[in-house]
Amino acid sequence: LEFNATSTTTPAIEVAAGTAVLDHLTFGNTASPYIHVDGASFVISHCEFPTTTAAFEPVHGTGGIKTGGRGIFYRNWFGRPNGDNDVVDFTGGNRPGSPIVQFLDNVFTGSDDDLLDFDGTDAWVEGNIFLHAHRNGSPDSASAVSGGNDSGNTSEITIIGNIFYDVDQAATAKQGNFYTFLNNTVVHQS
């Protein structure tokens, strides 16, 4: 997408309670959010989310995943956000009864905040590469996978078979969240 929105609050693509399959996209405007998926069903695969030149979260989701739908990020490349912003911030979607968001075989190149931030969100995180997450003046943590509760809903996250390199924390579970952390490789954690 070469001419996506020119505001730091308006995304290039917004899927609100809809269904979308997005494949092989590259975003040309690095000064506005790339994708918002709010209460949607989606598959986002083989996309390039470049390093941002303005302060915003490149990918944002609220309201979990649409009933009967799916929420999959597969084999994407994520550049760094500008400032104290998460690369992906996702809220909502708990088992049983709700589909959960999945991150499979993606590459995250860095952040001064969290790479994945899940609040009140159950998730499956497998086969990803997480690089260079370091708190740089941020009042928050800088973790590859992080999250807290949202309106009393906590997160249960399965993190399996990932590579974490040069991060402050591989995972931060706070405010009642529960993580299953299996067969991951963590190198150069500060």
Model confidence pLDDT, tens digit, residues 61-86:
999 999 999 999 999 999 999 988 99
- Indicate yes or no: pTM above 0.75: yes
Residue 8 pLDDT > 90, yes or no? no
178-187, pLDDT tens digit by residue?
Answer: 999 999 999 9
What is the average pLDDT score of the chain?
A: 93
Percentage of the chain modeled with pLDDT above 70: 95
Residue predicted with more confidence, 1 or 27? 27
pLDDT at 39: 97
**Which CA distances in Å does 102 have to 4, 50, 64, 122?**
25, 21, 12, 9
pLDDT for 189 equals 85
Largest interatomic CA distance in the chain: 42
Mean pLDDT of 6-32: 92
Cis peptide before 96 (omega within 30 of 0): yes
Q: Do 1 and 13 form a contact (C-beta atoms < 8 A)?
A: yes
Q: Tell me, what's the pLDDT at 139? A: 67
